[in-house]
Amino acid sequence: MGYPENVLAKDEHVVLHRHPHWGRLTGPAVALIVLTAVAAFVAGYVNTRDWESNARNIVFLVIAAIWLLLVGWLTVWPFLNWWTTHFVLTDRRVMFRHGLVTRQGIDIPLARINSVEFRHGLIDRIFRTGTLIIESAAQGPLEFHDIPRVERVHSLLYHEVFDTLGSEESPS
């Protein structure tokens, strides 16, 4: 999914667009599998009982309603939060947007960035993710967690900052 062009300034171009790492979705995927297995087991048990068909149907509806509620809360909601979280690097700024119902965001002009760091431990390195730390002139360090291929993002951001400044230190 590309980032909406209507939030970009005239002649501004997206250099990089990322959602958080897919690893954030493993918990919801496991929850979906477990909830479905439990609901199927309970429904199978109810089906073996010698109950009146109306009572059995009502119990099936209750099982389905509880399953839908839990799947929505533990699976769909985290997926939608993941889908609506954007880390965007343009040729002018860094943008971070997140939230489904209540949206929040921050824009950092490249010219105001003082330093760019990344951090990732062993597990993060295995899954090629990490934390990007940006320190701007206006604020203290901002940490962006679960950035896929954080080293590449760090490098791109570093190059964009120096290209924007037109510095003699530019690594080109």
Which of 62, 81, 100 is a domain's end point?
A: 81
Q: Answer yes or no: is pLDDT of 40 > 90.
A: yes
Q: Is 137 inside any structural domain?
A: yes
Q: Answer yes or no: is pLDDT of 167 > 60.
A: no
Q: Is 57 inside any structural domain?
A: yes
Q: Is 44 inside any structural domain?
A: yes
Q: What percent of the chain has pLDDT over 70?
A: 92
Within this chain, do residues 96 and 77 fall inside the same structural domain, yes or no?
Answer: no
Within this chain, do residues 71 and 100 fall inside the same structural domain, yes or no?
Answer: no
Residue 72 per-residue DSSP state: I
Within this chain, do residues 117 and 143 fall inside the same structural domain, yes or no?
Answer: yes
The mean pLDDT value for 29-37 works out to 98
Q: Answer yes or no: is pLDDT of 169 > 80.
A: no
Measured CA to CA in angstroms, residue 61 lies from 5, 46, 47, 70 at distances of 44, 12, 13, 14
Q: How many domains does the chain have?
A: 2
If one compares 137 and 26, the residue with the highest pLDDT of the two is 26
Q: Is 43 inside any structural domain?
A: yes
Q: Answer yes or no: is pLDDT of 168 > 60.
A: no
Q: What is the mean pLDDT of the chain?
A: 89
CA distance 104 to 142: 14
| Domain enclosing residue 152, as ranges | 90-165
Q: Which two tokens stand for residue 149?
A: 């291929």
Q: Answer yes or no: is pLDDT of 20 > 90.
A: yes
**What is residue 77's predicted lDDT score, i.e. its pLDDT?**
95
Within this chain, do residues 70 and 95 fall inside the same structural domain, yes or no?
Answer: no
Which of 49, 64, 81 is a domain's end point?
A: 81
Q: Answer yes or no: is pLDDT of 161 > 90.
A: no
Q: Assign 170 a pLDDT band (cuts: 50, 70, 90).
A: very low
Within this chain, do residues 102 and 153 fall inside the same structural domain, yes or no?
Answer: yes
Within this chain, do residues 69 and 97 fall inside the same structural domain, yes or no?
Answer: no
- Tell me the CATH number at 150: 2.30.29.30
CA distance 144 to 101: 20
**What is residue 118's predicted lDDT score, i.e. its pLDDT?**
94
Task: Read off the pLDDT of residues 136-160 as tens digits, 9 standing for 90 and up.
Answer: 877 789 999 999 999 999 999 988 8
Within this chain, do residues 131 and 67 fall inside the same structural domain, yes or no?
Answer: no
Within this chain, do residues 146 and 100 fall inside the same structural domain, yes or no?
Answer: yes
- Cβ pair 129, 146 in contact under 8 A: yes
